[in-house]
Chain A
Amino acid sequence: NAGVMQNPRHLVRRRGQEARLRCSPMKGHSHVYWYRQLPEEGLKFMVYLQKENIIDESGMPKERFSAEFPKEGPSILRIQQVVRGDSAAYFCASSPQKNNQPQHFGDGTRLSIL
């Protein structure tokens, strides 16, 4: 059974470009969560999605960031017009249900902005 798959593992972008991070949840999981880990900091919740729905985006920056989880395919975290401060590790987790269910984490995407 494959775990949560994130790709790419490493992504380098220049300021002003777009970054797309992908997350395929574990088989049978319909809930996806995105977290961001800035250098020397803990993980911070960004957004929680179910298939085709954003449930909670209270941790998402108001501009340039968006997330989707289509009916088919992986969840996508999209960052437009990237800036240096977007450099971080972005982790995705999935669970079969919400509330009291362990979340399984992927290995993350390390985004570097030049």
Chain B
Amino acid sequence: KQEVTQIPAALSVPEGENLVLNCSFTDSAIYNLQWFRQDPGKGLTSLLLIQSSQREQTSGRLNASLDKSSGRSTLYIAASQPGDSATYLCAAYYGQNFVFGPGTRLSVLP
């Protein structure tokens, strides 16, 4: 069964800290892995997409890594800001639909 888990479920940090969000997937036959941001009452915003052949992707203060063999991905956020407060979702894409993790709820305190 294809499952995606994320830890921690919630995280609260002071502004300026670097932090790591973790994602694990049980089926390594992914096409790609995507990290999304979801603000309360809003839809999903795609942050980073890593193809199965890639090891990492970077966008600004965000860096995502992918290790297919171990079934893991991490999202690294540098110099966190209050505006980064949101729920971060990891999703494994298997060629037809996403399998989502439950998310990590991040609060960055000013």
* Residue tally, chain A, CB below 8 Å to B: 25
In the assembled complex, the Cα of A102 lies from the Cα of B97 at a distance in Å of 10
Q: Does A107 contact B (CB under 8 A)?
A: yes
| A33→B102 contact, CB < 8 A | no
Docked complex: B82-105 residues within 8 A CB-CB of A? 89, 91, 93, 95-103
**Which B25-45 residues have a C-beta within 8 angstroms of A?**
31-32, 34, 36, 41-44
Q: Which of A27-56 contact B (CB under 8 A)?
A: 33, 35, 40-45, 48, 55-56
Would you call A33 and B34 a contact (CB within 8 A)? no
Q: Which residue of chain A is the closest to B5 with respect to CB atoms?
A: A42
Using a CB-CB cutoff of 8 Å, which residues 69-114 of chain A contact chain B? 91, 98-100, 102-108, 110
Of the candidates B42, B91, B93, B101, the one whose C-beta lies within 8 Å of that of A107 is: B42
Residues of A within 8 Å of B18, CB to CB, are none
Taking CB atoms, residues of chain A closer than 8 Å to B57 are none
Assess the A45–B98 pair: CB atoms within 8 A: yes
Q: A98 contacts which chain B residues (CB < 8 A)? A: 95-96
Contact B31 A99 (CB under 8 A): yes
Q: List 12 A-B contacts (CB under 8 A).
A: A42-B103, A43-B100, A45-B99, A48-B96, A48-B97, A56-B97, A99-B96, A100-B31, A100-B93, A102-B34, A106-B43, A107-B42
Apart from the given pairs A4-B43, A45-B98, 9 other A-B contacts in the complex at a CB distance below 8 Å: A33-B98, A40-B102, A41-B102, A45-B97, A48-B97, A99-B31, A103-B98, A104-B46, A108-B42
